[in-house]
Amino acid sequence: MKKLVLAVAALGLISLTSCKKKYTCSCTITTGGTSTTIEGKSEEKMSKKDAKAQCEKGNYSTPAGKSECKLK
């Protein structure tokens, strides 16, 4: 019984620590028919949901060009 409790506790700790990590956001910027891809890694550890929201803030579209950002 003690081994079972220890195993469950260990798995719980592992699952809690693996939820947040650093993510890479890749943005493709198109201006005047020319495309450039820029990649950036998050400075701090965050959840995937937060990282995706942060990355998508880089999306824009104007008459001069557009930017499409996706989480890798």
Of 32, 30, 29, residue with least CA distance to 40? 29
Task: List the domain range (segments joined by +) for residue 62.
Answer: 20-71
Does a structural domain hold residue 59?
yes
Say what the pLDDT of residue 31 is. 92
Say what the pLDDT of residue 72 is. 85
Say what the pLDDT of residue 15 is. 55
**Tens digit of each residue's pLDDT (9 = 90 or more) over 10-49:** 555 555 555 788 999 999 999 988 999 999 988 888 999 9
Say what the pLDDT of residue 6 is. 59
pTM for the predicted model, two decimal places: 0.66
Say what the pLDDT of residue 43 is. 81
Does a structural domain hold residue 13?
no
Does a structural domain hold residue 41?
yes
Number of domains in the chain: 1
Does a structural domain hold residue 1?
no
Are 43 and 57 within 8 A, CB to CB?
A: no
Rounded to whole angstroms, the Cα distance separating 34 from 45 reads 33
